[in-house]
Copies of this chain bind each other. A is one copy, B any other.
Amino acid sequence: MDREKLLEEISVETPSKIILIVLDGLGGLPYKDGKTELECAKTPNLNALAKNSALGLTYPILQGITPGSGPAHLALFGYDPLKYTIGRGILENLGLGVEIERGDLAIRGNFCTLKDEVVVDRRAGRIPTDKCVELCRKLNENTGKIDGVDVLFTPGMEHRFALRLRGEGLSDKIKETDPQKVGERPVIPEALEKDGERTSQTLKKIMEMARDTLKDEERANFILLRGYSLHSPIPSMSKLFKLKPAAVATYPMYKGLAKLVGMDVLDVKGTEISDEVETLKQNYKHYDFFYFHVKKTDSYGEDGNFDKKVSIIEEFDRALPEILSLCFDVVVVTSDHSTPCLLKGHSWHPNPFLIYSKYVIADEQTEFSEKSCAKGILGHFYAKDAMSLMLASALKLKKFGA
């Protein structure tokens, strides 16, 4: 019996409530006076919570593996991130706020410059984002619906866009059109398998229309497509874990990820942590699982901005008492992955993890940090196993076997 089937079999609906707080990219490395971001931040409320909680460290995927946001979040939501892989095209669309449904074909795209039929600039001279917005609008006007397939271009930064095809019988078994180097012709999107022939025809038509629409552009006169991902749905959290889950997040990518696993995505009026807390309070009654996402810890980590990352952690710490005052049965504070300022990017270091419930042996550590978590009673474990621990601690799992 596999883990997923086991959880589906033993999970039960109960009134108890869980909150999973994800401080994105929280974990760090020694940077300032040999201290990490979390060690430098003044976090009296997190420390007080830690004293009554069980601590540990989680591997997002496997020892040494640095995850993107997609797999790292899937793991936290209780899914094996090596079983459910989310295609690049899907993440690109989700990140731009595009809804993805079962059977959608999601694609990453670039504007490029063609000359004498060969690609001379794969990024079309990094056109300004405004220009990208204008060209996507034109492409949407001129393509619209082809062969019964809805076509949606969504502008990203500079030369980047996301493309979503929605229709019956789409396939992702198609050649990518990006030749990956200059001086070559764009690849024709031929089908790689018989199933892909209809989709191949549709993509060829889209490329023709794009060529026609963009023919007068100096730089962005063609498009290149890659990262085809056909969305095969993930079993929902309500099916697997009997939860009624909701997401409190402000960035499109995370809202999109939450939708993929069947969460309701709640409206947040603003982008501050306090706005998210307000949303949480208003919706507390209606759900039994909340995913609460704080983005800026990661953003400042990526920037290598140590002081700002510290200040966001402190801002969250000030908001924590209001969250705790709602009286969740289970509170988890953790991260999807580490983003040390030292690396200016995601890293493989395990995540600090704290779980509070009536049914933990509290570690009585006086602070919440990478090091105190390493000494915690939970030890090191895989992020994908956090869900069963949360469910158990909320008494939402029956016994396995007799």
Binding site for B on A (CB under 8 A): 1-3, 6, 10, 29-30, 36, 57, 61-72, 81-82, 85-86, 88, 91-92, 340, 342-343, 345-349, 358-362, 370-371, 374-382, 385-393, 397-402
Contacts and interface: CB of A to CB of B under 8 A. Distances in A.
Contact of A57 (B2, B85, B379): B379
Contact of A392 (B72, B82, B348, B358): B348
A400 B67 contact: yes
A57 B54 CA distance: 14
B377 A379 contact: no
Contact of A359 (B85, B347, B391): B347
A385 B92 CA distance: 31
Given A2-B82, A342-B359, A374-B379, A65 B348 contact: no
A162 to B, nearest CB: 12
Contacts of A379: 57, 374, 379-380
Given A67-B401, A361-B374, 11 more contacts: A1-B85, A6-B65, A65-B388, A66-B397, A71-B401, A81-B401, A88-B402, A378-B380, A379-B380, A380-B380, A380-B381
7 contacts: A2-B82, A30-B361, A61-B400, A66-B400, A70-B401, A348-B389, A380-B381
Contact of A65 (B376, B392, B402): B392
A400 B81 CA distance: 10
A85 B343 contact: no
Contact of A389 (B63, B68, B376, B398): B63
A65 B7 CA distance: 9
Nearest to A387: B64
B69 A402 contact: yes
Contact of A343 (B3, B359, B371): B359
A65 B72 CA distance: 22
A401 B86 contact: yes
Given A69-B402, A86-B401, A380-B379, A64 B385 contact: yes
Contacts of A88: 402
Contact of A377 (B360, B370, B382): B370
Contacts of A377: 57, 370-371, 374
Nearest to A386: B63
B342 A397 contact: no
Q: Lowest 6 CB-CB distances: which A-B pairs, in order?
A: A64-B388, A63-B385, A379-B380, A68-B401, A64-B392, A71-B401
